Chains A and B, each alone.
Chain A
Amino acid sequence: MSHPANEGHPVLDPVLAAPFPQAAFTVLRNTQLRKNVAHATDVIQGKRNRLVAEKTDWQELRSAASALRTHVLENLGHYLEQFEERCTAAGGVVHWAKDAAEARAIFLDILRQEQASDVIKIKTMTSAEIQLNPAIEAAGIKAFETDLAEIILQLGDDEPSHIVVPALHVNRTQVREIFARKMNLPELSDDPKELTNAARTFLREKFLRVPTAISGANFLIAETGSVVIVESEGNGRMCLTLPKTMITLAGIEKVIPRFQDLEVMLQVLARSATGERMNPYSSLWTGVTPGDGPQRFHVVLLDNGRSDILARRGERQTLKCIRCGACQNTCPVYRQTGGHAYGSPYAGPIGAILTPQLMHLEHAQTLPYASSLCGACYEVCPVKINIPEVLIDLRAQVTDKEREEERRFFDPMYLGMRIANFIFASAGRFRLAQWMGRLGLRLFTRKDGWIHSLPSLGARWTMTRDLRGLPDETFRRWWAARDRKD
């Protein structure tokens, strides 16, 4: 049986991934994947739009969420130190990791101290960012994902393609095939209920047996040192209640000032992420509570390029993100390509701005171009990240960097731009070029007034669309003639 969603293992390491246009070209031929992605994003968007419409104070909530996140970033050092102090006082151990390698090393240290042979995991995109699972497996420890979508991916040797619904590119037939093979259940049907039950049984034993868990964090609360996890299935609650040890990985930007700030954040997150008034389960815990839940608790605060983003005034807003995925569901590019083409666990518009910055613009330079700049992502963003603005900023930086490195000196586009620059700088040259261009295009204009095919670089346009022939009179000539008449 073929695995249309799994043609070759998707590469989500921006250092190794193919440039976006190349990767996108491959996925665009995968009609099954495109159908799956279109269906899932349509459903979530429909639900999200209905619930946002019923909320009369939606714009006020967005403004409050945006202001709050901006305030946090402006005072990030203050809030992180406060979180560290309160979490430590409550019995937690706080670690700081400057990059992915250091974060992985901290995890392995703790897991060795715990003498862990297995770990259970709550879905965390940050763990995919630092490529934690391969590191854990290399140390001989088995990592079990417990979110249904993540199990589908782990067992199917696949990678997440969406921040909130990571397996949205896989359909029920594919899930059935993976579960039947990996859980040894040949009789399994493709009924989602039966598939879900299979996962429940498969994981129940792990929840009850494995004493070490790893989670991400939706929010860290500075005032109390608490961690908040938002989920649907209850796998999160299992992992943060039953094990003896919990290790939480959180980007340094995840902190919010006070417990009460959740009144804003939870309202905007649930509606934006899954189109629910509230997700089925949210959990909050504070350090260690004697007799209830894990008795050893670690938090790993991850920088990995975030403090760099913080230093860029225009792009700092990227860090306001609360990972709701609404920009992915609405993006006309993501909706065609799905997530894998972005070559990063962070796909879609937010991925297009976050990934290259986390890579210090050394990799993933094509991602800022993976957008039509239509602005739909900005409109739905619950914390008002102006993604198109950041995309344009990053495009400029990518271009500047390439020019400095003279990498594009002989690139046809760069040459073309230089020539255009020369022509546009003088009215005489512009008039001359216009005259020559009109003369040239006339050769290709058919009787119906349309240009159906152009040679060379122009063919890239006419391959898929026609171009209207130029009218006989230019605007400039018409304008001049009009002046004379007056």
Chain B
Amino acid sequence: MDPISRQAILDRIRKATAGGAPDVAGSYAGLERSYVRSGKLGADDRIALMIERLREYDAEVVETAPDSLAEAIQEQLAASGRRRFVAPEGLPAEWLAEGFEWKIDHGLSTAEVEQAEGVVTNSFCGIADSGTIVLHHSAAEGRRIISLLPDWHLCVLRASQVVETLPEYFARCSEAPVLATYISGPSATADIEMTRIKGVHGPRFLHVVVERDEPR
């Protein structure tokens, strides 16, 4: 780094903004924020909206009761016609359905992840308004590479983790994540004549199992 350029740029900025707010924190706190923060929907409608939005993005969604979650995962895996799956280190053991080849990611190489036909992960949160799945890449959500290279991604979303609006997600973050991935449908492009094509580089198939863990 050239310390001279750094200082020169900062000096120019300071000169240009001289007379700005002396109290940055106070000025920030006073910023206008009159947009909608909390949603209005009840639990059922919120989940229904989340599912509707996911389906608009061509994601496959199934709902399940808490006691049949493992079974629902098993069914999805079987229906996929795939055999080799990768799973994050912290994925609950009961989600690793029998009859499939599992590679647990204790630091798999790129080539090993690339060979998997699919991946199963947990998620941090769902945002109904935009149909967004949020990953903070904790132990059960996995490293970024495993939810990226395999062509088929099954993600578990608990109903209690679904918020209605984007600001509600931020309110749930007690601290900022170090890593985060926001997925709103499978990889897509509209670069050729604005025709939406699903599946460019990320997983082409996104499956979401919604666990209804809150009372209906």
Q: Which of B15, B181, B201 is close to A311, meaning CB atoms less than 8 Å apart?
A: B15
Residue of A whose beta carbon sits closest to that of B197: A196
Contact of A277 among B53, B137, B186 (CB under 8 A): B53
Q: Is A43 an interface residue (CB 8 A)?
A: yes
User: A56 to B132, alpha carbons, bound, how many Å?
Assistant: 19
Known: A64-B32, A277-B130. A233 touches B202 (CB 8 A): yes
Query: B189 contacts the other chain (Cβ, under 8 Å)?
Result: yes
Q: Does B148 contact A (CB under 8 A)?
A: yes
- Whether B2 contacts A102 by the Cβ 8 Å rule is yes
Q: How many B residues are at the interface, by size bracket? A: 35 or more
Is B129 an interface residue when CB atoms closer than 8 A count as contact? yes
Complex contact B193–A282 (CB within 8 A): no
Determine whether the beta carbon of B148 is less than 8 Å from that of A238. yes
For the side of the interface on A, what is the size category? 35 or more
Residues of B within 8 A of A257 (CB): 28
Binary contact track B1-25/A, C-beta < 8 Å → 1, others 0: 1100110111011111100110010
Q: Flag if B193 contacts A192 (CB, 8 Å).
A: yes
Q: Given A67-B32, A192-B197, A292-B144 in contact, is the A75-B192 Cβ separation under 8 Å?
A: no
Interface contact A281-B13, CB-CB below 8 Å: no
Question: Is there an interface contact between B191 and A277, defined as CB atoms closer than 8 Å?
Answer: no
Are A39's CB and B144's CB within 8 A? no
A266-B193 Cα distance, complex, nearest whole Å: 25
Task: Point out the residues of chain B lying under 8 angstroms from A96, CB to CB.
Answer: 1-2, 5-6, 9
Cβ A233 vs Cβ B8 within 8 A: no
Q: What residues of chain A lie closer than 8 Å to B173, measured between beta carbons?
A: 259-260
Residue in chain A with minimal CB distance to B202: A234
Complex CA gap A102/B203 in Å reads 38
Q: For B53, give the chain A residue with the smallest CB separation.
A: A277
Residues of B within 8 A of A39 (CB): 193-194
Min Cβ gap B211→A in Å is 22
Look across to chain A and name the residue whose beta carbon is closest to the beta carbon of B184.
A278
Q: Which of B33-41, B66-74, B96-104, B117-125 contacts A (4 or more CB under 8 A)?
A: B33-41
Known: A56-B36, A64-B34, A172-B193. A71 touches B28 (CB 8 A): yes
| Nearest CB in chain B: distance from A345 CB, A | 17
Q: How far is the CA of A289 from the CA of B137 in the complex (A)?
A: 11
- Going nearest first, the 10 A-B pairs with the smallest beta carbon separation are A234-B202, A311-B16, A259-B176, A234-B201, A278-B130, A307-B12, A233-B200, A277-B130, A234-B187, A278-B184
| 15 A-B pairs with C-beta separation under 8 A | A75-B17, A148-B200, A165-B191, A171-B192, A171-B193, A208-B110, A232-B190, A235-B200, A267-B166, A281-B184, A282-B181, A284-B181, A303-B9, A303-B12, A310-B17
